[in-house]
Amino acid sequence: MINIAIQILIWAVGIIAVVTVNALALVYLERKVSAHIQCRLGPMQVGFHGLLQTVADAVKLVSKEQIIPKNADKVLFILAPILAFFPVIVLFVVMPFAPNLICRDLNIGVLYVFSFASLEVIAIFMAGWSSNNKYSLLGAMRSVAQVVSYEVPLLLAVLAVVLVIGSLKMSEVVQYQHKIWMIFLQPAAFLIFMMGGLADTNRSPFDIPEAESELIAGFHTEYSGMRFALFFLSEYSNVFLVSCIATALFLGGWYGPFVNGIHWFVIKVYALVFVMMWVRWTLPRLRPDQLMNFCWKILTPIAILNLLVTGVVLKLVH
Amino acid sequence: MFKNIKEIFTGAWSILVGMFITFKWMLKRPVTIQYPKQPTRPSPVHKGRIRFVIFPATGTHDCIACLKCQNICPSDCFEIKGDKPAEGGKKRPNFFTYNFSNCSLCSLCIEACPTKTLEHSPEFNLASENKDDYFYNFLNDVEERKKKVDATVNR
Amino acid sequence: MYGMKIDNHPKLDRLLLPEYSNFHPLRKGFKFEGDSVDDMNRTWEIEREADQKVSSTVLEHHRRDYFVNMGPQHPSTHGVLRLLLHMDGETILEIDPVIGYAHRADEKMGENGNYMQFYPYPSRVDYLAGMIYNWGYVGTVERAIGIEITERAQYIRVIVSELQRLASHLMWYGAFLMDVGSFTPFLYCFQDREEILDMFEMCDGSRLTYNYFRFGGQERDLSPEMLDRARKFIPMMKSHLKDYEKLVQKNIIFRKRTEGVGVITKDMAIQYGVTGASLRASGFAYDVRKSEPYGIYNQFEWDVPTATTGDAYGRFAVRVQEMWQSLRILEQALTRIPEGPYNNPAAPKRFKPNPGEFYFCVESPRGEMGIYLISDGTENPYRIKMRTPCYSNLQVIKDVGRKNFLADVVCILGSLDIVVPDVDR
C-alpha cells in the first residue's frame, strides 16, 4: 500500500517537474530557432547563451501582480488557466517514453489521450468568456470553432492508424512499429495528424485564436503574471504532447537504429517540435473562414478517403 | 475539381519552397550584435547633440554671442546672454544654455554660425532618466572638456 | 480647422477638434487664450458625457451587433490610428476611422517661422519617407524663389530619394506581412532597411528624420564610401528580393489572404483621390515622376508598374515592382553621377519670395505628396498646406472594408500603407 502511494507521488512530482522544465526548454528553443531563422542571436545575457533566460522570465512572471479586470467573472477567470494546465499533466500519464517508462499503460490509451486533449478548448473558452473583453471573446469563439472542427480529421487520421494496429494500448501501438514505422504505411494520416495538431495547439499558421495583429493576444489578452505563464506553459506543453503522440503513433516511438530506448523517443519528439517551430516562423496566418474551409473541404475528405482505403486494403490482406 | 487538386499540390510546393528559404537564412551569420558589450561606432558625420568647437589655436571656443543660432533655431533651444568685455575686443557669451530635449538636430544653427564654433558631438548614447540632463551649459561644458583633454595630454 | 460649411455633406463633423467646439485655430488671428481655453475644456466634457451615453445605450439593448475600438493602441494600426468597427460576429458592418491622435500642427508651425525654420518638419510628417518630404518642401520654395540647382545635387536627390523609397517599401513589406501573420519577413526587410539607414547616416548624420536638402542643393556632399556602399547594396538587394518573392509572394496562404480582398475600383480610387501604388494597382498609371517630372527623373529609363485587380495582392505586387524600378533608377544614377558642387553658393540665406501661390508635388512611397505655399511677400510663409497621400488613401477604407472580416480589415489597412502622422500632420 505504502509502496503504491510512494510510487504515485514519485510519478506525480516527476511529471510536474518534467512538464515545467520541458516547457521552459521549449520556450528557450523557440526563441533561439526564431532568432536564427531571422538572423538574430536571441537571448544571450542570462547564463551561457541565454540558457537561463526563460527561468528568469518565469521568476519575473511569478513575482508579478495578479490583475483581475473589474468586470471579469472572477471564479472562471481564476479557474481557466488551471484547467488549461490540468490536461497537460494528465496526458503525460500514458506517454510511452521507453519500454519501462510508461506511468500507466492503459488499455484505452489512445482514446484517453484524445478525450483529455479536447478539454483544453473549455479552458480557452472560459478564459475568453470570463475576461469580459471583446477581443478575448472573439479569440475564444474562433478557438472553439477551430479546435472542434480540427478534431474531426485528427481523429479520423488516428482511427486509420488504430485500424491497422488493432489496439488502443500505447505500448502495443509502439511495439507494432518495431519493423516498419507507421509513417510509411500511413503517410497521409501523418500529414493530417500534424496539421490537426498544429491547429489544436493554436500554432501558426492556424494561430487565429491569438492572432496578434487582429486580436492582440486573443483569449489571454487580459491575463498577466502567473496565470499568463500557465497558459504559456500549457501551450508549449501541448506542442510537446502533440509531438509525443505523433512519435508514438507514427514514428516508431523508442525504436531506432543501434540501441532502442528513450533517447530515440526524445530525439524524434524534438525534431518534430523543431519542424513545428520552423513552420511557425515561415508561414503567414490563415483567415478564420479559410481555416474552416481547409478543415472541412480538404482535410476531412482526405481523412475519410484514407480511412476507407485503409479498411479496404486491410480486408483484402487478411 | 482537377483545378482544386492542382492548387493543393502547388500550394504545398510553395510552402515547401518557403520553408527551404527560411532554412537557408537560418544558416547565415546573425547580423545583430550584443550592443553594450560589443561597441558600435556611428558614422563620422553623425548628428549628436550640439556643442562648442574647441579650436586648438586658442584653446577655447570662438562664440561671439551674435544670437544667430538662437534666431534661426526652429524650436528655441538656445538661451544666450553675452556682453562686451571691459578691456574691449569681441563680444563674449557669459550664459549659453542649450535644451537638447527640444532640439530636432536640423543643424541650421551650425550653418548659421559665423565663426564656425558649433558642431555636432559624436556621442550617441545620450538617453537619460532625468530631464535636467538635457540642459547643457556650453560654457561649463567647454571647461570640462578642456580639463579632460589636459588630463590625457599630461598623462 | 477653418470652420468651412459644405452643402449636402453626409456627415459634417469637426475633424480634429471636439465636435461641439466653435473655434477655428488655423484661421488667422486665432489666439488660444481666454474664451477658447474655456471653450476647449467645456467641449471635452460634453464629448465625454456623450460618449458615456452611447456606451450605456449599447449595454441596455443587448443587440446582436457590437462596437470594437480598434486602436489607438492596437498592434496592427501602425501607430495611433483608431478604427471604430461596427461588427456583427466577425463581419464588419461599418468602419469609421478616427484620426487626430498624432496631430502636431505641422502646417501652423510652418506659418509661425520663416522659410528656413520649416526645414526639419516635413521629414517628421512621414517619418518613413523623410528624404522625399524634404525634397517636397525644398522644391516648393525653390519654385517660389526661382533658384538653380546644380547637376550633382540633382543626382544626389534622385539617389537618396530612391533609397528612401526602397527603405519605406521594405518597412511596409515587413509590416504588411506581420499584419498577415508572418513575422520573419519583417526582420529580413529590416536588415536591408538598416543597410539603407546606415547609408543615410553616412550622408546626413541622422537615421530617421533627415534634414539633408537645402534650397539649391544639399547639406553636404555624398562621400565616395557611401556611393560605393550603395553600389554594393544593389546586387544584394536584388538577390534578397528574389528570395522574398519565393518566400512570400508565391506562398499559397499569402495569396489566399490577399487575392480579392479589399478591391478598390478605378472609379472609387479617383473619387477618393487615392494616389500612389494603391491607385496604380487599380489600373491607373499615374506617377508624379512620370506625369509631372520633377528633378531629373525624365532622364532615366524606367516604367510605371500597374496591376488591374485593385485588391491587396495587386497593391503588393505593384509595390514590389516599384522596388525593382527604384533599383533600376539607382543603378543608372550611380553610374552617371557627375562631379561638381553639391550646392548652389548663390542660394540666399534670408529671402522674401514674390507674393503668390506655389505648388510642388513629389511621388512619395505612399502617393502624391504636394506642398501648397502661399507667400505674402514677407519672410514667413502665409500658409503652408500639405497634401499628404495617406489622408486620402485612408478614407477609402470606409467603402472597401465594409462587409469584410476583421482579419481582412487588418490586411487592407496594411496594404494601403498608412503612416499615421502623415494622416494627422
pLDDT tens sequence across C31-53: 766 666 676 677 777 777 776 76
Give the pLDDT band of residue C62 (cuts 50, 70, 90): low
CA distances from C78 to C121, C178, C377 (A): 20, 11, 40
Which residue of chain C is at minimal alpha-carbon distance from B10?
A: C252
Residue B36 C-alpha, separation from nearest chain C C-alpha, in angstroms = 19
The terminus-to-terminus CA distance of chain C in angstroms comes to: 13
Please report whether residue B125 resides in a domain.
Answer: yes
Sheet bearing C82-88, strands edge to edge: C66-70, C82-88, C91-98
Please report whether residue A31 resides in a domain.
Answer: no
Which of A37, A138, A284 lies nearest to residue C90, judging by beta carbons?
Answer: A138
Chains that touch B (3 or more CB pairs under 8 A): A, C
Interval C224-247 mean pLDDT = 87
pLDDT of residue C18: 66
User: CB distance A282–C247 less than 8 Å?
Assistant: yes
Q: Does pLDDT of C271 surpass 80?
A: yes
Is B146 in the C-facing interface, judged by CB distances under 8 Å?
no
User: CB distance B19–A37 less than 8 Å?
Assistant: no
Residue C70 bridge partners (DSSP): C83
Which of C120, C191, C201 lies nearest to residue B42, judging by beta carbons?
Answer: C201
Residue B59 and residue B14 share a domain: no
Please report whether residue A80 resides in a domain.
Answer: yes
Residue C424 C-alpha, separation from nearest chain B C-alpha, in angstroms = 20
Pairs across A and C, CB distance < 8 A: 81
> Under an 8 Å CB criterion, which residues of A touch B?
33, 35-41, 44-45, 278-279, 281-283, 298
In angstroms, rounded to a whole number, what is the distance separating the alpha carbons of residues C192 and C237? 7
Count of alpha carbons within 13 Å of A89, Cβ hemisphere only?
15
pLDDT tens sequence across B42-75: 777 888 888 888 887 777 777 887 888 888 888 8
Ramachandran assignment for C276, one of left (phi > 0), alpha (psi -120 to 50 degrees), beta (any other) = left
Interval B67-91 mean pLDDT = 80
Give the pLDDT band of residue C63 (cuts 50, 70, 90): low
Q: Does pLDDT of B142 surpass 70?
A: yes
User: CB distance B25–C243 less than 8 Å?
Assistant: yes
Is C407 in the A-facing interface, judged by CB distances under 8 Å?
yes
Please report whether residue B36 resides in a domain.
Answer: no
Give the pLDDT band of residue B147 (cuts 50, 70, 90): confident
pLDDT tens sequence across C356-376: 888 888 888 888 888 888 888
Please report whether residue A50 resides in a domain.
Answer: no
User: CB distance B34–A41 less than 8 Å?
Assistant: yes
DSSP SS3 for C217: strand
| Count of domains forming chain A | 1
Q: Which of A4-8, B120-124, C312-316 has the highest mean pLDDT?
A: C312-316
CATH assignment of C106-424, among 1.10.645.10, 3.30.420.40, 1.10.1200.10, 3.40.50.970: 1.10.645.10
Interhelix angle A109-117/A225-250, rounded to 10 degrees, is 150
Contact by Cβ (8 Å): C30, C48:
no
Interval C152-170 mean pLDDT = 88
Which of residues A180 and C315 earns the better pLDDT score?
C315
Residue B2's domain spans which residues?
A: 1-31
User: CB distance A39–B23 less than 8 Å?
Assistant: no
Interhelix angle A225-250/A2-37, rounded to 10 degrees, is 90
Residue B74 and residue B26 share a domain: no
Which of C117, C202, C250 lies nearest to residue B72, judging by beta carbons?
Answer: C117
Residue B115 and residue B70 share a domain: yes
Spatial neighbors of A266 by CB under 8 A, at least 6 apart, are A97
In angstroms, rounded to a whole number, what is the distance separating the alpha carbons of residues B79 and B96? 6
Sheet bearing C367-375, strands edge to edge: C356-364, C367-375, C383-387
In angstroms, rounded to a whole number, what is the distance separating the alpha carbons of residues C364 and C374? 22
The model's pTM: 0.86
Please report whether residue A277 resides in a domain.
Answer: yes
Is C186 in the B-facing interface, judged by CB distances under 8 Å?
no
Which of C90, C182, C187 lies nearest to residue A283, judging by beta carbons?
Answer: C182
pLDDT of residue C36: 64
Pairs across A and B, CB distance < 8 A: 36
Is B33 in the C-facing interface, judged by CB distances under 8 Å?
no
CB < 8 Å to C119, chain B? 74, 106, 108
DSSP SS3 for C331: helix
Please report whether residue B40 resides in a domain.
Answer: no
Please report whether residue A269 resides in a domain.
Answer: yes
Residue A296's domain spans which residues?
A: 67-317
Residue C374 bridge partners (DSSP): C357, C383
pLDDT of residue C57: 57
User: CB distance C182–A212 less than 8 Å?
Assistant: no
Is C246 in the B-facing interface, judged by CB distances under 8 Å?
yes
pLDDT of residue B154: 65
Is C181 in the A-facing interface, judged by CB distances under 8 Å?
yes
In angstroms, rounded to a whole number, what is the distance separating the alpha carbons of residues B133 and C182? 41
User: CB distance C407–A205 less than 8 Å?
Assistant: no
Chains that touch C (3 or more CB pairs under 8 A): A, B
Residue C221 C-alpha, separation from nearest chain B C-alpha, in angstroms = 11
Regions of chain A short of the pLDDT cut 50: none
pLDDT tens sequence across B26-38: 887 777 888 877 7
User: CB distance C407–A287 less than 8 Å?
Assistant: yes
A224: phi then psi, degrees, rounded to nearest 5: -150, 170
Is C410 in the A-facing interface, judged by CB distances under 8 Å?
yes
| Count of domains forming chain B | 2
Give the dihedral of Cα atoms A261, A263, A268, A272; nearest 10 deg: 140
Which residue in C85, C132, C95, C78 sits closest to C361, CA to CA? C132
pLDDT of residue A190: 87
User: CB distance B26–A37 less than 8 Å?
Assistant: yes
Is B43 in the C-facing interface, judged by CB distances under 8 Å?
yes
B137: phi then psi, degrees, rounded to nearest 5: -95, 110
Residue B55 and residue B27 share a domain: no
Is C244 in the A-facing interface, judged by CB distances under 8 Å?
no
DSSP per-residue letters across C22-53:
---TTSTT---STHHHHHHHHHHHHHHHHHHH
Share of chain C above pLDDT 90, in %: 0
CB < 8 Å to C86, chain A? none
Please report whether residue A34 resides in a domain.
Answer: no
Which residue of chain B is at minimal alpha-carbon distance from A276?
A: B19
pLDDT tens sequence across C384-397: 888 888 888 888 88
Please report whether residue A126 resides in a domain.
Answer: yes
pLDDT of residue C350: 76
Residue C59 C-alpha, separation from nearest chain B C-alpha, in angstroms = 43
Is C23 in the A-facing interface, judged by CB distances under 8 Å?
no
Which residue of chain B is at minimal alpha-carbon distance from A279?
A: B19
Which residue of chain B is at minimal alpha-carbon distance from A284?
A: B15
pLDDT of residue C376: 84
Is C124 in the B-facing interface, judged by CB distances under 8 Å?
yes
DSSP SS3 for C389: helix
Within its chain, how far is the Cα of C301 from the centroid? 25
In angstroms, rounded to a whole number, what is the distance separating the alpha carbons of residues C207 and B146? 30
Domain locations along chain C: 106-424
Rg (CA), chain B: 27
User: CB distance B17–C116 less than 8 Å?
Assistant: no
pLDDT of residue C59: 53
pLDDT tens sequence across C110-129: 888 888 888 888 888 888 88
User: CB distance C250–B14 less than 8 Å?
Assistant: yes
DSSP per-residue letters across C297-325:
GGGS-------SS-SHHHHHHHHHHHHHH
Interval B5-21 mean pLDDT = 82
Is B43 in the A-facing interface, judged by CB distances under 8 Å?
no
Which residue of chain A is at minimal alpha-carbon distance from B32?
A: A40
